[in-house]
Amino acid sequence: MKILIDVAHPAQLNFYLNAIRILGKKHTVLVTYLKRGKLPHIVKKEVPESQNVKTLEVGSHKGNKLSIIFHANLFRIFKMFWITLKFMPDIEFSNGYVAGVGPRILSIPSCHFQDDPEIGKKRMRLMMTFADKIYVPFYTESKKIKRLESLKEWAYLSPKYFNPNPKILADLNLDEKEYIFIREVITTTFNYQGQEEAIIESIAGDFPKDYKIILSLEDKSRAKFFPSHWHILEEPVKDIHSIIYYSCAVISSGDSMAREGAQLGVPSYYCGKRMMHANNILIKEGMLFHINKDEVVSSVKKITNGEKKYQQNEFRHSLFKKWDDINEIIINEVENIKIKNL
């Protein structure tokens, strides 16, 4: 079987990484990826090429609107079509619509995953046009939409696939549950259009000076505006999910890392603007909190002073019992195509 998997940013690579490793043992897998930020470096590090697994850079994303529209979408559609025509996979997987155009024209089965049905009617309509199936977490099923009893981060954060490594604490001179993990994103992408810039930066001075802070800062040019005693991580970060796992709280201006923290059983505070279906799932579970930036410091203080406590292992075990194994779903999709081709 020949499988095409397309990724456009690191979160999508994380999503497919376990499936790539599993499928690469029996099948030929081509991983196409967008030249965007650190993604090429991460792909080369996390997806070692072998006889069965190859990687290929397709298109670019330079961070501005014109580049997003033309380089990362329009031009990339044509490039992906020719790659699909040349490779002729038995099935294609992705989390957007760009890689689905070729398979639709060439009558190749495609399966996409989307945890953000709020992306807009036009973009969702494009996905519906160019995918045979779209898995959406905890969503009403239709002809093409399949309900996924899980969030996409669970593909790599489920206890079946992720075990925290305590060695990371010694490497960074940290003590378990004695520090806060903070993520500050840039706001130049479509997802964050209209969001206030530098949300965390604007309240950094409000944190008590004795708090130990680990900061994941997307725009390193802003480092000088944060307290000097904050530890700023250098990407790509080794074992970042273990760092998050052992923190006492996660604060993020971006939605992805806020959800990751929550699924790792760490109380997570999202102070961005996006109102998301996926976020609501974890808000209902009581581990994710969507708050204004003015509420961040006071909310975290309730954890650091012991007023609020959370049972990390029990929470993750409860999700494990009731949520789907996404990698098994991907593998089953491949096996179903294999059976149809017999």
Indicate which CATH number applies to the domain containing 194. 3.40.50.2000
CA 290/CA 293 separation, integer angstroms: 10
Same domain for 139 and 230?
Answer: no
Same domain for 37 and 152?
Answer: yes
Same domain for 315 and 221?
Answer: yes
Same domain for 149 and 296?
Answer: no
CA 205/CA 339 separation, integer angstroms: 60
Residue 187's pLDDT is: 77
Same domain for 74 and 114?
Answer: yes
What is the domain extent for residue 142?
A: 2-158+324-341
Digit-by-digit pLDDT tens for the chain (342 residues) are 999 999 998 899 999 999 999 999 999 999 999 998 889 999 999 998 999 999 999 988 776 666 666 677 789 999 999 999 999 999 999 998 999 999 999 999 999 999 877 766 787 888 999 999 999 999 989 989 999 999 999 999 999 999 999 999 999 999 999 999 999 998 766 667 777 889 999 999 999 999 999 999 999 999 999 999 999 998 778 899 999 999 999 999 999 999 999 999 999 999 999 888 899 999 999 999 999 999 999 999 999 999 999 999 999 999 999 999 999 999 999 999 988 786
Residue 204's pLDDT is: 97
The pTM assigned to this predicted structure is: 0.92
Same domain for 58 and 126?
Answer: yes
Same domain for 67 and 80?
Answer: yes
pLDDT tens digits for 163-213?
999 999 999 999 999 999 999 998 766 667 777 889 999 999 999 999 999
Same domain for 248 and 140?
Answer: no
Domain count, the chain: 2
Same domain for 190 and 97?
Answer: no
Same domain for 98 and 122?
Answer: yes
Residue 162's pLDDT is: 98
Same domain for 107 and 233?
Answer: no
Same domain for 12 and 147?
Answer: yes
